[in-house]
Amino acid sequence: MNDLTYAILGSGALGGLYGARLARAGAEVHFLLRSDYEHVRAHGLRIDSKDGDFHLPNVNAYANVEDMPRCEVVIVALKTTMNHLLPQLLPPVVKQGGIVLTLQNGLGVEAQAAEAAPGAEVLGGLCFLCSNKVGPGHIHHLDYGEIRLGRYTPDGRPGGITDTMRRIAADLNESGTPTTLMEHLELARWQKLVWNVPFNGLSVILDATTDRIMADAHGRRLAEALMLEVVEGAGACGLPIDRADVDDMLDRTVRMTPYRTSMMIDHDRGQPMEVEAIFGAPLRAAREAGAATPKLEMVYELLKFLDGGAVVMKTQVAGHS
């Protein structure tokens, strides 16, 4: 391992898994937790994984970011619905000249991190992962796990590959997380949206896991149509994506372990969904570039309705308790 120190902001299904792997491999890792703080401090982190189960008994756990040491790499693994907190969370924990690595879905997340942590180098990571938090300090990793890592540039142009990226990728690879370095982060984000848009959206609207969507002819056609609209939007923004990528993603989804998407889980729990980052941002970008994406717009409006309904329902339930 390199001598980099890591902070994990958002120690759930994603941050908890990757952070625990780094710590198990010998890296110095500090975890910010909320509801799980007392449990993890007392009992550590438990990972059930297709790659092998393990228990991390001693965890550097913190309930407040002000109590954390400044670290060279700060991994943001929060839901994007919490990004309004970044101006409070990042400055106390990022070491001067440090790196912020966003492991989040959607578009525009690196810009938010860069604004919250001026002077830091900002990287973006795209996680191809099926993982759920199943209990306090308990994560179930079902499938995949690769991270694709790129450098953020304010103008969206290719950022190249830096020595910092290579060092972080070496640590992640050594910890058991396959990591690929990408020249063009913005293109990689649109490529990820080709999968995230249809399957996160349809899983909520249809109340269906990935296998059910793909097993039904109507569900598969809907998924494919949404994928092609994302490709259309990306192309209009000057980021061409090959049609073969769509076919490959569809085939991979058929073969993958049946999965409840993170958005489906958030909706079922009555929690805010990442509608703006995954749907609103690409929809607006595509529209500004002149692309017509009517199905994407329809899914966006449906999710906004359902997201608002979930908040109302949660408030009503709380009022009756």
Catalytic residue among 79, 133, 192, 295: 192
Look-up of token digits 């980099």: 4
- Residue 99 β-bridge partners: 73, 121
Q: Which long-range contacts (CB under 8 A, 24 or more apart) does 301-310 make?
A: 302/201, 302/205, 303/201, 303/204, 303/205, 303/273, 303/275, 303/279, 304/275, 306/204, 306/205, 306/267, 306/273, 307/267, 307/272, 307/273, 307/275, 310/267, 310/270, 310/271, 310/272, 310/273
The CA distance from 171 to 21, in Å, is: 10
The CA distance from 159 to 177, in Å, is: 22
The CA distance from 164 to 2, in Å, is: 11
The CA distance from 204 to 220, in Å, is: 15
Region of residue 23 (phi > 0: left; psi between -120 and 50: alpha; otherwise: beta): alpha
How many other CB atoms are there within 10 angstroms of residue 101's CB atom? 27
The CA distance from 180 to 127, in Å, is: 11
Angle of helix 185-205 versus helix 281-288 axis, rounded to 10: 120
State yes or no: is 79 an active-site residue: no
Could you give the residue numbers annotated as active site?
192
